[in-house]
Amino acid sequence: MAIKPTRRTRLADAAMGTAPPKEKQALVGADSVWALSNKDPRWLLKLLDDELERGQQLWEKPRRYFRGSGSGEPCSRALTLEAMGHRVPFEARVLRIFRVGNSIEDVIVKNMAGAGVLESTQDEVKFFGDPPLLGHVDCVVKRPGTGERVLGEIKSIKQELFKALPKEHGPVIAGESPLTKGYYLKYLKQWNTYAWSPTIDIEIGFLLFEAKNEHQQKIYWLLRDPDMLESVLEIRRDAAPYVEGDPMRVAPIPAGFDPNDMSRGNACGWCERRYLCKKLPKGGATYDEARAADAKLRG
Ligand code: SF4
């Protein structure tokens, strides 16, 4: 005698003769999921993308400080637009990449906690004026046995960028690391700024990279570099009066920058604010003037 299965499976349905009909009338009405999915199989994905993209604003609340995570930004004018709240929305695909990146970084920090080496995470980076700068570190790690403190930044990067990383190395002054070449320089500058922050003040640490697809990891040990810090702070000191003044102003185009130069490899060529920068007076603009110009361009 056949025993009735306690859980429905296709095999069980076939055995019991209880398989559902191929089409159920209730599912195939003009307004049904069936009809919609036949017409546009991607409707659910589009709905999710819309939700992701809708959450982004063209302008956020202005801030009177610079972000530590933006330590790689070389342009004082771009820094003032960023502090004013100017944002360039990303498409959903890019937002999903960021989401995966954040998850990878969270998992690594949890891994550190599990291994008993995590002292803290999200400690505040703060320079007290001259220039005003805030941020949060990924992790402070304590070496087992000696208790030495080490500052870590974690970056999940695209597979192509991971493959192009130089050979891992032990401690070198940040400005002498082979990571200074090209894309990774901004990460070095960020780590170095954090290491010098009066609220962090750690001499040694690492950048840990994980590839987004295949999850290989590489680690680079660094010693903080006063010259690299000075180059970062100098640009922010130039930009600070425009961000702290009333009204806030967009800084002038710095010497050597040209927003009409579209070639890649120079700061303006990569700049996502170029479309607006080009339309504003070279000598600067107030917050209201920047908003008005942007409203004409982006609505
Ligand atoms: S386009 Fe060039 S000058 Fe203008 S904000 Fe961007 S980097 Fe600065």
Residue of 81, 186, 242, 253 with the most ligand 1 atoms within 8 Å of its CB, for mutation: 253
Residues 207 and 269 in one domain: no
Binding site membership of 271 for ligand 1 (Cβ less than 6 Å): yes
The parent domain of residue 104 ranges over 66-233
% of the chain residues with pLDDT over 70: 91
For residue 268, the ligand 1 atom closest to its alpha carbon is: 2
Residues 134 and 189 in one domain: yes
pLDDT bracket for residue 18 (50, 70, 90) = low
* Whole-angstrom distance, CA of residue 133 vs CA of residue 244: 12
How many A from CA of 245 to the centre of ligand 1? 21
How many A from CA of 177 to the centre of ligand 1? 27
Please report which residue ranges of the chain form alpha helices under DSSP H. Answer: 10-16, 33-39, 43-54, 76-84, 92-114, 159-163, 185-196, 226-244, 267-270, 274-277, 287-298
Residues 281 and 192 in one domain: no
Residues 72 and 214 in one domain: yes
Confidence (pTM): 0.87
* Whole-angstrom distance, CA of residue 193 vs CA of residue 189: 6
Binding site membership of 276 for ligand 1 (Cβ less than 6 Å): no
Binding site membership of 274 for ligand 1 (Cβ less than 6 Å): yes
Q: What is the pLDDT of residues 89-129, one digit of tens each?
A: 999 999 999 999 999 999 999 999 999 999 999 989 998 88
Last residue of a domain, one of 208, 233, 258: 233
For residue 272, the ligand 1 atom closest to its alpha carbon is: 6
Contact criterion met (CB below 8 Å) for 29 and 35: yes
How many A from CA of 75 to the centre of ligand 1? 6
The tokens describing 275, both together, are 């479309």
How many A from CA of 81 to the centre of ligand 1? 10
* Whole-angstrom distance, CA of residue 40 vs CA of residue 32: 12
Count of structural domains, the chain: 2
Binding site membership of 157 for ligand 1 (Cβ less than 6 Å): no
| The residue type at 28 | V
Residues 207 and 255 in one domain: no
CATH number at residue 151: 3.90.320.10
Answer yes or no: is 190 within a domain: yes
Contact criterion met (CB below 8 Å) for 251 and 80: yes
For residue 74, the ligand 1 atom closest to its alpha carbon is: 7
For 218, phi then psi, to 5°, come to: -135, 150
How many A from CA of 80 to the centre of ligand 1? 11
Answer yes or no: is 291 within a domain: yes
Residue 142, strand partner residues: 149
Binding site membership of 253 for ligand 1 (Cβ less than 6 Å): yes
Binding site membership of 293 for ligand 1 (Cβ less than 6 Å): no
Residues 283 and 162 in one domain: no
Q: What is the pLDDT of residues 261-289, one digit of tens each?
A: 887 778 899 899 999 999 999 999 999 99
Binding site membership of 77 for ligand 1 (Cβ less than 6 Å): yes
Residues 171 and 263 in one domain: no
Residues 170 and 272 in one domain: no
Answer yes or no: is 24 within a domain: no
Residue nearest to atom 2 of ligand 1 (CA): 268
Residues 179 and 216 in one domain: yes
Residues 276 and 222 in one domain: no
How many A from CA of 110 to the centre of ligand 1? 38
| Per-residue model confidence (pLDDT) at position 128 | 80
> Chain-wide mean pLDDT for the chain?
91
Residues 76 and 215 in one domain: yes
Binding site membership of 240 for ligand 1 (Cβ less than 6 Å): no
Answer yes or no: is 142 within a domain: yes
Q: What is the pLDDT of residues 240-256, one digit of tens each?
A: 999 999 999 999 999 99
Statement: residue 3 has pLDDT above 60: no
How many A from CA of 66 to the centre of ligand 1? 16
Residues 185 and 286 in one domain: no
The tokens describing 285, both together, are 């603009």
